[in-house]
Amino acid sequence: MSDLVSYRLEGDIGVISVNYPPVNALGQGVREGLVACLRQGLDDDQAKALVVIGEGRTFPAGADIREFGKPPQGPALPDVVAEYEASDKLVVAAIHGTALGGGLEVALGCDYRVAVDSAKVGLPEVKLGILPGAGGTQRLPRLIGAQKALEVIVAGNPVKAKDALELGIVDELIGGDLLEGALAFARKLAAGNAPLRRIRDLQAKKEDPDLFSNFEKSIARKQRGFKAPFHCIKAVQAAVELPFDEGMKRERELFAELLVSPESRAQRHVFFAEREVAKVPGLPKDTPKRDINQVAVIGAGTMGGGIAMNFANAGIPVKILEVKEDALEKGIAVIRKNYENTAKKGRITAQQVEDRMALIQPTLSYDDLSDVDLVIEAVFENMDVKKAVFSELDRVCKPGAILATNTSTLDVNRIAEFTQRPEDVMGMHFFSPANVMKLLENVRGEKTADDVVATVMDLSRRIGKVGVLVGVCHGFVGNRMLHKRQAEAIQLVNEGASPAQVDKVLFDLGFPMGPFAMSDLAGMDVGYRIREELRKEDPDNAPPRNWTDELVEQGRLGQKTQAGVFDYKEGDRTPVPSSEVDALIAKFREEQGIQAREVSDQEILERCMYVMVNEGAKILEEGIAARPLDVDVIWIYGYGFPVYRGGVLFWADSVGVKTIYDKVSQFHKETGNDVWKPAALLENLANEGKGFYG
Ligand code: T1G
């Protein structure tokens, strides 16, 4: 008998409590306990009805995903749910926290569902590359209609309790204590001889004859490359077209196909990896953290403004400093505009706009920063400017304040030396747009103190970011790998490929856009400035001039000038190949004495991706990233690497490290270019027949 689930009588109502921290996941012991306690409740003559509830933070938040890939152990969740549904006593699910996946499916096996206002329900299985496999695709359409069920299941997002009430997923919101409210609700039902409500007996309504084909078309672009969303549609279709038991069989078939798919393996890997990155190897879990109650951002430009918004969104007061009044006013106006646009989309209320703006305190004086706990500098990417800012911060900030730089490529150790307190300095590299992109590369300097690292990693989560700890090198992890890929992409065009062909290969792999469309979006001048800075600082190692430099010098900066590597029509972000650029590339080849040749898609894929895999291996060897999963999470959350491929190094394992190593060695022999010198780690893994993940 499992001790993870207990039964007790509260007056004349039986209470079944799940207690399996942290999220009451429906592991084998919980499933077993749920069945045993249900049977106990049915045998208990004093129990007129039953209530199921979760102890701790939440109603069961889903199947125990740590069990996936292991031999299944009974009782199977669909059977547990079916037994609750077959109960001849009324069962009420009492929901708080997040009743997700199998948790909501258990609740759908109950006759009624009540919830506290703050609760959320949902079927997020699609985000793990699977689908609700315990009847969710068959019961939810019967309860709320096929259209609404599709929206919940295919998006996989949580539904707030009040919206769940409106949809009919929840029957009543409980204002006070959840258990008390659920007991009262159950007593009222029992007293009124309320009927059992088995969802399996309902008919799933399909409001529109073309619902499923239209829905599939509506998600085709966004869900490109994923498998699960399309299987979800098929499962819901079965709910409408088949009797319940046949629909359940169809659900199980579709679930089984997805469970073993490479996409789902990758997505489950990412689920755990994005949590694992928060656990820094070698940093004791109980490392003290500094209190962060007041923050400041230096610079009210695009990055500074976006960074400030993250703190205001999390309810943390944030000062924003500019040295010029008009720049400060402009920055504040842009922040307000961003919030108002979000409010227009209904994602926040007008009041929330005001509340967040009130937390953003503009200032022109460094002296105002004497009370802040953390400062993030987001000024021009130039060492002299950084030096001036950090000298000032060192002068005005209180002892113990953390001084962070948002630099994307400059040396954090050198910046730390501009202060008397290098142990309090670290990098917090936000990705543009800073208020949108989830990735935060936290850059640990040589002298950064442990508690500063622990504080910043914890703060990342507080502001809704996925914080990854990285070391100091040019470009840290993400941009260091990106620069190698960009250089390879340019070289491929020099040799004969077109920018559009290179972009299509990587778009087809699953990136949201190819290297050149990405440069046009970020602005061609960004890369140009970095290359020019490198040419000034380290001429021997800087990248040679190339045709993209000429584009910038001709004012073709990308989307912002409606012309970059591609042309852009007014108000349209679709990249259009440009004959002017083709001519410029041809001229460049001629000047370089390059005879253009046919370049295959396969060669483009190998050279753009394997150069990143090799760089990732070097990054791991140098300790710039601690684990392969840190590199993978960075590429998924910073550059849109497709989740259904798990990350650059997870994908490398699917290709085969040996295959990649052989190609990297071949390219190294052919080009003599150090970028293709195989990393020792890559060679060792290849020789041992292993992958990055074992
Ligand atoms: N199984 C096992 N462990 C889980 C888990 C789960 N379902 N959900 C969370 N954890 C662990 C997590 O790894 C972390 O562990 C700790 O709990 C706190 O999580 C048949 C097949 C519930 C909203 O997809 O969305 O049901 O790192 O850091 O930010 O149809 O966790 O502390 O050791 O995320 O407060 C469907 C997934 C499963 C829900 C809480 N359910 N979980 O967020 O904490 S498939 C899900 C979440 C399924 C059925 C199918 C979130 C959360 P550690 P956390 P949080």
Residue 73: pLDDT band (50, 70, 90) is very high
pLDDT at 381: 85
Q: What is the largest CA-CA distance in the chain?
A: 93
Residue with CA at minimum distance from ligand 1 atom 55: 23
Q: State in Å: Cα 61 to ligand 1 middle.
A: 6
For residues 133-148, average pLDDT: 97
Catalytic pick from 32, 85, 125, 392?
Answer: 125
For residue 108 and ligand 1, the question of a CB distance below 6 A is answered with no
* Span from the CA of 80 to the centroid of ligand 1 (angstroms): 20
pLDDT at 70: 87
Q: What is the pLDDT of residues 84-110, one digit of tens each?
A: 999 999 999 999 999 999 999 999 999
Q: Which atom of ligand 1 is nearest to the CA of 131?
A: 30
Supply the pLDDT for residue 535: 86
Mean pLDDT for the stretch of residues 480-505: 96
What whole-number percentage of the chain has pLDDT above 70?
100
Residue 557 clears pLDDT 80, i.e. is over it: yes
Task: Determine if ligand 1 sits within 6 Å of the CB of residue 132.
Answer: yes
Which of 404, 415, 575 lies closest to 498, judged by CA?
Answer: 575
Distances (CA, A) of 418 to 124, 369, 394, 396, 413: 47, 18, 8, 14, 9
Q: Which two tokens stand for residue 189?
A: 């039902």
Judge if the beta carbon of residue 61 lies within 6 A of ligand 1.
Answer: yes
Question: Could you tell which of 23, 57, 98 is best to mutate to test the pocket of ligand 1, judged by most ligand atoms within 8 Å of the CB?
Answer: 23
At 534, the amino acid letter reads L
Q: Which residues contact 304 (CB under 8 A, 6 or more apart)?
A: 297, 298, 320, 322, 331, 378, 379, 406
**Is any atom of ligand 1 closer than 6 Å to the C-beta of 22?**
yes
Ligand 1 neighbourhood includes 158 CB (under 6 angstroms): no
pLDDT over threshold 80, residue 206: no
Please say if the pLDDT value at position 1 is more than 90: no
What amino acid occupies position 378?
A: A
Residue 260 burial class via C-beta count within 10 angstroms: exposed 0-12, middle 13-18, buried 19 and up? exposed
Mean pLDDT (whole number) for 353-359: 97
Q: Report the distance separating Cα 139 and Cα 27, nearest Å.
A: 22
Which pLDDT score is estimated for 518? 93
CA distance 613 to 480: 12
CA of 581 to the centre of ligand 1 (A): 49
Q: Which residues contact 648 (CB under 8 A, 6 or more apart)?
A: 481, 609, 612, 613, 616, 631, 632, 635, 641
**Mean pLDDT for all residues in the chain:** 95
Nearest atom within ligand 1 for CA of residue 128: 24
The CB of 128 under 6 Å from ligand 1? The reply is: yes
Cβ of 72 below 6 Å from ligand 1:
no
Q: Considering only CA atoms, which of 527, 16, 11, 629 is closest in space to residue 272?
A: 629
Q: How many whole angstroms from 691 Cα to the centroid of ligand 1?
A: 27
User: Whose Cα sits closest to atom 22 in ligand 1?
Assistant: 61
DSSP H helices, 523-647, are 524-537, 547-553, 579-592, 601-621, 628-639
**Which of 440, 425, 433 lies closest to 389, judged by CA?**
425
187 Cα to the center of ligand 1, angstroms: 32
Q: Which of 32, 55, 85, 105 is catalytic?
A: 105
H helix intervals, 5-69: 28-43
Written as six digits, the tokens of 226 are: 């994923």
Is residue 625 within 6 Å of ligand 1 at its C-beta? Answer: no
Helix (H) or strand (E) holding 363: strand 360-363
pLDDT band at 526 (very low <50, low <70, confident <90, very high): confident
Average pLDDT over residues 476-494: 95
- Whether 125 sits among the annotated catalytic residues: the reply is yes
CA of 676 to the centre of ligand 1 (A): 40
Q: What is the DSSP letter of 465?
A: -
Instruction: Please tell me the predicted confidence (pLDDT) of residue 65.
Output: 86
Active-site residue, 495 included? no
pLDDT value of residue 536: 85
- Compute the distance between CA of residue 323 and CA of residue 309 in angstroms, rounded to an integer: 19
Confidence of residue 69 (pLDDT cuts 50, 70, 90): confident
Least confident of 1-10, 36-45, 455-464, 660-669: 1-10
DSSP string, 633-651: HHHHHHH---GGG--HHHH
Average pLDDT over residues 363-386: 95
- Residue whose CA lies nearest to ligand 1 atom number 40: 23
The whole-number average pLDDT for the span 576-584 is: 96
Q: Report pLDDT for 533.
A: 79
23 close to ligand 1 (CB < 6 Angstrom): yes
Q: Is the pLDDT of residue 207 over 80?
A: no
Higher pLDDT, 529 or 356: 356
Average pLDDT over residues 134-142: 98
253-312 tens-digit pLDDT? 999 999 999 999 999 999 999 999 999 999 998 999 999 999 999 999 989 999 999 999
Q: What is the pLDDT of residue 2?
A: 62
Is 0.90 topped by the overall pTM?
yes
Matching residue, tokens 């009262």: 184
Q: CB within 8 A of 664, min separation 6: which ones?
A: 610, 611, 613, 614, 676, 678, 682
What separation in Å is there between the alpha carbon of 19 and the centre of ligand 1?
A: 15
